[in-house]
Amino acid sequence: MSSPKVADMFPRLLAYARPYYARIAISLIASLGVAAADVTSAKLIQPLIDYIIVDKNYSLVNFVPFFIVGLSIFKGGSKFIQEYFIKTAGQLVVQDIRNDLYRHTLRLSMGFHSRSKAGNLISRILNDVQSLQRSAADVMVDTIRESFTMVGLIGLAFYTDWRLASVAFVVLPLSVVPATLLGRRIREKTKRGQQSIGELTSVLQESINGIKVIKAFGTEPDENKKFRDENWRYYKLLRKVLKYESLSSPFIEFIASFGVAAVFWYGLNRVISGQITQGELFSLSAAILMLYVPMKRLIRVNNVFQKSMGSAERIFEVFDEKPEITDRQDAAEVDKVRGEVQFNNVFFSYGDEPVLNDFVLTANPGEKIALVGPSGAGKTTVASLLSRFYDPIDGSIMIDGLDLRSITLQSLAKNIALVDQETFLFHDTILNNIRYGRPEASREEAEEAARQAYAHEFIEQQPEGFETVIGDRGLRLSGGQRQRLCIARAILHDAPILILDEATSALDTESEVMVQMALSNLMENRTTLVIAHRLSTIMNADRIVVMDQGRIVEEGTHRELLEQSGVYRKLYDMQFRDE
């Protein structure tokens, strides 16, 4: 994924803030109040010294507490309004970014997901957005408030004595260059640190998903070492970010000390010569000293901003990925199709290695076709192309005479049901898992689908029946039970085209019998494409297509293929040699 430039990212982030301009405007107005309070505090030092202490107008002393308390109330109220509205605006912006990022990730094609680590994507959606979320509010709050305060204090300093103020601001440009360089290093290291977090998330996800394998092989020490090593790599990157952050504040203070020293030296000489009053000197000195506080805060804000830009780069890298499979502008919505499927001279490859070569196949409505052949023959690729997870490099795939690319993805999904060997179930109730894809279906329809899938009996034996939560990936159920729930889900989906990709490969004999009975109900009156290594499961198919190296080498019924004594016969003899 290519990295977007910071100059391009900033307008894109601002576009997310557009719906919340009212909140930001209120915060800006309140920020003016905070800045005014700080400037007034510095300005009041002059009358306090010149009119009360020097001129001895002691009657004014009684008003000082009221001014201080009133100014504090005004500043506190303004600060509350400013922080509340800008922080809520920031949180809403980041929430929109996370929602859009998740939606965009789901829209990306299977090719992208097959190339990307799931843990890395999860890290971008959670960790990177969270980093942006933490920094967005701080950056917006401090930038607005401290900028207004700086402008006000600079105005006060030059209004009081422009010569003395000029001395103080000679050193100000000197602090910009190192701050910029440090900020750039922080952004680079933050991005690499977030990449490391992505790798750490991947290691964590793999170990949790593969805990059964880890336990079975006793590789806990190896996995611990892998996690510790990745965690240490993250720390080393984070350590550099912390080093640059820690360096910025002392460096700015060191540079600022020259300006402060020059102000007091030159200012005291001007007081001695009678060019300015003591009150003006202390008022201007207070303004300059107060000025360096927001300046240091803005340097820290720049560091935070650079960290957020490192995270934003990784976020917009995903946004800049374009779905490879999309609806054409003239794509049509189709209702339930008859189920005629045609592969017309289809070529496909996942890279340089061709997978399908001039593949031609026609399935009539309601026909049951089995695809068999050695591993790597291209059987699963045929199923993936029919589901339009990918598009062919050349040739076309038709349903009822319509090119798949002329049909919307949503309507295609409604007309195809997939049951594969990866029996993925959600951490939800049995009922909701069956209704996945047709959430509007009634409970009665879901129960009927479960009966046809021979799943109703074991469902009723669960603690809460159809309302039982089956755990992550359905691991509380046996393999055969999970597969029958997937079949019930496909039955309820009621699509005219069915793809069975190794649907019984991981089952024992008893479970396979039950699943085969359920599959018989599922295949009834549907155009079915069955991919299987176990030839015993496809002997009754209307037609068996034997594939090798992306081509069809044999075709016919089970009996016809045995009589040909070709590839199918060899596969059959290998599987049933003992028998």
> Rounded to an integer, what distance in angstroms lies between the CA atom of residue 131 and that of residue 308?
6
Is 333 a member of any domain?
no
Is 271 a member of any domain?
yes
Question: For residue 268, what is the enclosing H or E element?
Answer: helix 220-272
Determine the pLDDT at residue 4. 62
Instruction: Name the residue type at position 122.
Output: I
Determine the pLDDT at residue 345. 93
Would you say residue 506 has pLDDT above 60? no
Q: How far is CA 537 from CA 164, 501, 509, 513, 515, in A?
A: 93, 12, 11, 10, 11
Determine the pLDDT at residue 137. 60
Q: Which residues pair with 332 in a beta bridge?
A: 407
Looking at the structure, tell me whether residues 105 and 164 fall in a common domain: yes
Looking at the structure, tell me whether residues 69 and 12 fall in a common domain: yes
Instruction: Name the residue type at position 341.
Output: V
* pLDDT tens digits, 259-315: 677 777 777 877 787 777 777 777 677 767 777 677 777 777 777 777 777 778 888
**pLDDT interval class at 400 (50, 70, 90):** very high
* pLDDT tens digits, 334-348: 988 899 999 999 999
Looking at the structure, tell me whether residues 528 and 446 fall in a common domain: yes
Looking at the structure, tell me whether residues 499 and 465 fall in a common domain: yes
Q: How far is CA 181 from CA 300, 310, 537, in A?
A: 13, 15, 67
Q: Give me the domain span that covers residue 74.
A: 6-319
> Rounded to an integer, what distance in angstroms lies between the CA atom of residue 128 and that of residue 287?
39
Close Cβ partners of 117 (under 8 Å, ≥ 6 residues apart): 198, 199, 202
Would you say residue 2 has pLDDT above 60? no
List the structure tokens of 461: 């034996």
* pLDDT tens digits, 178-207: 666 776 777 777 777 777 777 777 777 777
**Region 28-39: what's the mean pLDDT?**
82
Looking at the structure, tell me whether residues 299 and 381 fall in a common domain: no
Highest-confidence segment of 2-6, 161-165, 214-218, 388-392: 388-392
Strand order in the sheet with 368-372: 416-420, 497-501, 527-531, 368-372, 543-548, 551-556
Query: Which CATH number do you get for residue 284?
Result: 1.20.1560.10
Q: How many domains does the chain have?
A: 2
**pLDDT interval class at 396 (50, 70, 90):** very high
Determine the pLDDT at residue 543. 92
Q: How far is CA 416 from CA 167, 212, 340, 354, 363, in A?
A: 76, 33, 12, 26, 14
Q: How far is CA 156 from CA 150, 318, 328, in A?
A: 10, 47, 62
> Rounded to an integer, what distance in angstroms lies between the CA atom of residue 136 and that of residue 423?
41
Would you say residue 579 has pLDDT above 50? no
Looking at the structure, tell me whether residues 466 and 387 fall in a common domain: yes
Determine the pLDDT at residue 365. 92
Under a CB-based contact definition with an 8 Å cutoff, are residues 27 and 326 in contact?
A: no
Looking at the structure, tell me whether residues 309 and 348 fall in a common domain: no
What average pLDDT is seen over the chain?
Answer: 80
* pLDDT tens digits, 288-302: 777 767 777 777 777
Q: pTM for this one?
A: 0.72
* pLDDT tens digits, 231-247: 888 888 878 877 777 77
Looking at the structure, tell me whether residues 484 and 441 fall in a common domain: yes
Under a CB-based contact definition with an 8 Å cutoff, are residues 361 and 87 in contact?
A: no
Determine the pLDDT at residue 373. 85
Looking at the structure, tell me whether residues 214 and 350 fall in a common domain: no
Is 98 a member of any domain?
yes
Is 332 a member of any domain?
no
Under a CB-based contact definition with an 8 Å cutoff, are residues 17 and 93 in contact?
A: yes
* pLDDT tens digits, 472-504: 666 677 777 888 888 888 888 888 998 888 766
Is 334 a member of any domain?
no
